[in-house]
Structure 1
Amino acid sequence: MADVVIVGGGPVGLYLAALLLQDGVAVQILEQRLRREPHSRAIGIHPPALAALDRVAVASAMVDAGVQIRGGIAVSGTKTVGSMSFASVSECFPFVLSLPQVTTETLLERRVHELDGAALVRGTRVTEIADDGGLVTVVAEATNAGGAGTRITSRLLVGADGSRSLMRSLLGIPATSRTYPDHYVMGDFEGTGENLNEAVLYLEAEGIVESFPLPGGRRRWVVRIPRPAAVPDAIELARMVHQRTGFRPDPATNSMLSSFSPRSTVACRSVAGRAVLIGDAAHEISPIGGQGMNLGWLEAAELAPIICDALAGKPVGQRLHAYSARRRKAASLARWQSEVNMMLGRPLAPPFLALRNHAVSAVSGIPAANRLVARRFTMQ
C-alpha cells in the first residue's frame, strides 16, 4: 500500500517523488530500467526549473556540477550576426545550466534515497492498472532476472514514463502527434575553439549547427541533416562540423553519438480517474530548445500540492481541471517555440540566408527585443 505510485524513475518522476516525500507522502516509484542511461541526453536546465529544483534541495549541487551558460551568439560565415545575454532573465539563476541528464538523475535519486531508501524499485514494468474509483491497483512484472514483480494498491497514480508511455496506453488516453522535416546528428567532444562557455548557433546555408558547453571542458555538437540517418561515426560527424563551421572536433575525444528526428505528441487529456500523466508521457516536445524535461519539472511542482490536498481529503476536482488546462497550454506554447527554433535552423539559399541573418542582427541590436527573446528562450 502506498499513497502515490509513480511509474517512471526518470528526472520528472524522481523530482515529483522528492516533493511528495518531503511532505510525508508514502511514495513508490516503479522504474523498468535496472540502471541509468550513461550517455547524456537532455542537458539544458532553465531558470524556472532551477527554482523548482531548489525546493528539493538539489539545485545547488546541480549548479556546482554543471556549466553556467550566461549567453549565446549566432554566427554565419565566420561572422557574428547576433548575441544574447541571460543576465536579466532571473535574479537567482541568470543562466541556462548545462548538465548531462545522467548527473541530473543521479542527484535527484540521491535526494529521494535520503528521504526514503525504499521508495525507488528498479527492474519493474507495469502491466495492468485497475481503478475502482477509490483506489488504484498496479500490477508489475520483473523486466529481467535482476528485477522484481509486485502488486501495489495506492490512492493515486502518476504516469511519468516518457514519450512512449505505456501508462498512457493502459489508461486509454489518446494523443495527437506531429512529425517534422528536420533530422539531426549529435556528439560530445572535447572543447575546441573560442566561446567555450557560450552557446553558439551556426546559421549556415546547409542547415544549422548548434554547439553547447558541457562540464569537463567538453562540447556537444548538433548538426541538422537533410534526411534521417543512422548514427554516424565520430570522424564523419567531425567532418560535417568542420565543413560548416570551420572547427574540427577531435574524433578521438568523442564520448557520445546519436541521431534523432524530432516529433511532438500531446495527450488529449492528462487526468483519467485517479491517475495523472506528467512530463513526456503527457507531452513530447522536440528537443531543439531543451524544454521538455523542464516542462515536466514545472508540472510536478504545480501538481504536488494538489496531490497532498487530495490525500488530505480536500476537494481538488476544479483545481485539477484548471491545472490540466494550464499545463496543456504550456505544452502547446513549448511546442510552438520548438517549431520556431527548428524553422530558423533549416537550410536556406544565400539570398534568404542573408535576410534571416539581417533579422537576427536587428533583433539582437534592440535591447528590449533581445531581453524578450532571452526570456522566451529560457522559458520565462
Structure 2
Amino acid sequence: MPFTTRSCAVPEARPDVAIAGGGPVGLYLAVLLLQQGLSVRVYEQRRTRERHSRAIGIHPPALRALALAGAASAMVRDGVPIRSGLAMSRGRVVGRMDFGGVAEDFPFILALPQFRTEEILEERVLALDSGAIVRGAKVTGVADDDGAVTFTVRYTTGGTPPAVLTAGVLVAADGARSGLRDYFGPAVVRRNYPDHYLMGDFAAGDLDAERAVLFLEPDGIVESFPLPGHLRRWVVRLPAPAGNADATELGRLVRQRTGINPAPATNTMLSAFSVRSAIARDSVRGRAVLLGDAAHEISPIGGQGMNLGWLDAASLAPLMPRILAGPYPAGELRDYGRARHRAALVARRQAEINMLLGRPLPAPLLTARNAAVGAAAAVPTVNRWVARRFTMQSDTSGPA
C-alpha cells in the first residue's frame, strides 16, 4: 500500500496523543490508542517506505500483542512460520531446536519483511482514522507545561513552514537515532561491540522452508532464515565493517564457510551493520514517553528490538486514558518505566549471548563450544528453556 500524505495547509487540531515516528512501533501504538477512542496523530519524516529494512523476526509474545491490534492474522498469512532451528558446524549437525513448545497460540517465529509489517499496521491505522498519519513531518522539539505537551513539527514539503503544536501526550518512537531522546536527559547507557555483519536476501535454494539454520564456523557465524516469496536471508559475521562489499562478496563468504552458494543474480536486498546498544534509564518524563528503539537500541542479532517496542506499546496503551483524564498516574508510569527497562536489559543480554555464540574461535575451542551446544540441545528440558528464551518467552517480555 502506498504512503498517504495529509495536507498540512490547515492548522492541526490538538490530538490526545502525538506520536513521533511512523515505523512499526509507532503505527502499532496508534492502532491501540485509536481502538480506545483516543485521537492520534503520527508524524513520520519519511515520504517513502524503506523496503530494505533489517527486521524480519516476530516472536510469539509480540504476535500475541499484535493480535490486540487486529494485525496478527494478516501477518501470519503473509509471513513464513519458522518452526525449528538447526545448528551446524563444518558440515555436521551440532544441535536442533523445536519451537513447537514455546507457545500454544503461536508455536513459531514468524518471518515477515518489515515493510510488509508496516503496510499491515498502516492499513489498520487508516481504517480507524484516515487522517491519522502525517508524512514528511519531523518532530524537533518538546516542552511540557504539566497539562499538555508543546512540540515543533518541521515539514519536508516545499513551502510549508514549521508549526508549533500541542497534544495531551507525546510519544517518541523515532528510532535508534532518536532526535528527541536528549529531552529525557543524558542518562543513556551505550555500548559498542566488536561485531560487524553483512546480510542479504537471495533465492531460497534447497534448505527447509520453515527452518532457521546457524552455521557455527571457525571464521564466524553464518545465519540463514526463510522469507516469503521463496527467499532466504543470509547473515555473515565479519571481522571488520563491510565497506563496499556487494552481493557477490556475500555469496562468496557464505559459500566459503558453509558450502552453500547463494546466487548473486537473485539478490533482492543487501545491508551491512556494526553493533551497538543504547538504553535510556528513564523512558518517561512528564507527558512525554520514549518507545521502542528510541528507548532501547540493542543488537539486531536475535531479532528482539522491534518485538520489544511492540511490548512497550502494549504495556503503555492502557495507561494513556488515565494520563489524559488525570490525575497524573505517576506511580503507574514509574512502574511501567522500570518494567520496560528491565525487559530491555534482558533483551540486551540475550543479544550479547547470541553474538558471543557467533564469534570466531580456534579449532579446539570451536570443538568444545559445539560439544556444549550439542549436549544442551540433547536435553529436552534445556532445549525447551533455550527455545523459550530465544523467542522472548520470559517474565519481563510483556503482556501475556
Q: SS in structure 2 opposite 1:347?
A: coil
Q: Unpaired runs of 5+ in structure 1?
A: none
Measure the CA separation in 1 of the matches of 2:153 and 2:328: 30
Is this contact kept in 1: 2:241–2:274, CA < 8 A?
yes
Q: Does 1:114 align with 2:127?
A: yes
CA distance in 1, matches of 2:150, 2:175: 21
Structure 1, residues 317-376: CA drift from partner, whole Å, max 9, x if none?
A: 111101100100000010000000000100000111000110010011000000000000
Q: Which residue of 2 aligns with 1:266?
A: 279
TM-score, structure 2 as length reference: 0.93
Contact 2:184 2:282 in 1 (8 A): no
2:354 aligned with 1:365: no
Aligned residue for 2:67, secondary structure, equals helix
Partner residue in 2 for 1:81: 94
> Does the 8 A contact of 2:99 with 2:108 survive in 1?
yes
SS at match of 1:2: coil
Counterpart residue number, 2:190 = 177
AA aligned to 1:265 is A
Q: What is the CA–CA distance in structure 2 between the aligned matches of 1:62 and 1:311, rounded to whole Å?
A: 32
Q: 1:171 Cα shift?
A: 4.2
Would you say 1:240 and 2:262 are equivalent positions?
Answer: no
Q: 1:290 aligns with which of 279, 303, 325?
A: 303
Q: Does the alignment pair 1:105 with 2:114? A: no
Give yes or no for the alignment of 1:164 onto 2:199: no
Query: For residues 171-225 of structure 1, what are the alpha-carbon distances to aligned partners after superposition, in whole Å with 9 as ceiling and x for unaligned?
Result: 4443121000111101100002322320000000000000000001100000001
Count of matched residue positions in the alignment of Structure 1 and Structure 2:
380
Match of 1:137 in 2: 150
Residue 153, structure 1, aligned to residue 153, structure 2: no
Tell me which of 104, 107, 110 is aligned to 1:94. 107
Structure 1 residues 198, 58: CA separation in 2 closer, same or farther (over 3 Å shift)?
same
Q: CA deviation at 1:147?
A: 7.2
Q: Percent identity between the aligned chains?
A: 58
Deviation at residue 316 of structure 1 after TM alignment: 1.4
Question: Does the 8 Å contact 2:201/2:233 carry over to 1?
Answer: yes
Aligned partner of residue 194 in structure 2, secondary structure? coil
TM-score (norm 1): 0.98
Any idea what the Cα deviations from partners look like across 1:121-163, whole Å, max 9, x if unmatched?
A: 0101122222111111111111243977433211111100001
The reply to whether residue 12 of structure 1 matches residue 25 of structure 2 is yes
* RMSD across aligned positions (CA): 1.3
Q: Secondary structure at the match of 1:262?
A: strand
**In structure 1, C-alpha distance between the alignment counterparts of 2:235 and 2:206, rounded to whole Å:** 16
**TM-aligned CA distance change 1:217 to 1:133, over 3 Å:** same
Q: Identify which of 47, 62, 71 aligns with 1:49.
A: 62
Asked whether the 8 Å contact 2:140–2:180 carries over to 1, the reply is: no
2:79 maps to 1:66? yes
Structure 1 letter corresponding to 2:213? V
User: Residues 147 and 279 from structure 1, CA distance in 2 versus in 1: closer, same or farther, beyond 3 angstroms?
Assistant: farther
Partner of 1:252: 265
Distance 1:165 1:127 in 2: 10
Hey, what's the Cα distance between the residues in 2 that align with 1:179 and 1:306?
Answer: 34
Tell me what 1:32 maps to.
Answer: 45
Quick one: which of 278, 292, 309 aligns to 2:322? Answer: 309
**Range with bigger deviation, 170-179 or 338-347:** 170-179
Matching of residue 356 in structure 1 with residue 369 in structure 2: yes
| Structure 1 residue identity aligned to 2:267 | N
Q: Does the 8 Å contact 1:159/1:281 carry over to 2?
A: yes
Deviations 1:205-260 (A, max 9, x none): 00000000000110000000111121411111101000000000010000111110
Q: Report the Cα distance in structure 2 between the residues aligned to 1:15 and 1:173, rounded to whole angstroms.
A: 27
Rounded Cα–Cα distance in structure 2 between residues aligned with 1:371 and 1:246: 30
1: CA distance between counterparts of 2:192 and 2:208? 33
Q: Which runs of 5+ in 2 are unaligned?
A: 1-13, 394-400
Shift of 1:314: 4.6
Which of 256, 260, 281 is the equivalent residue of 2:294? 281
Find 2:353's aligned residue among 308, 315, 340.
Answer: 340
Q: Is the 8 A contact 1:176 1:265 kept in 2?
A: yes
Does the 8 A contact of 2:19 with 2:41 survive in 1? yes
Q: Of residues 200, 203, 212 in structure 1, which corresponds to 2:225?
A: 212
Contact map agreement 2:52 2:271 (CA 8 A) in 1: no
Aligned residues of 2:215 and 2:258 also touching (Cα < 8 A): yes
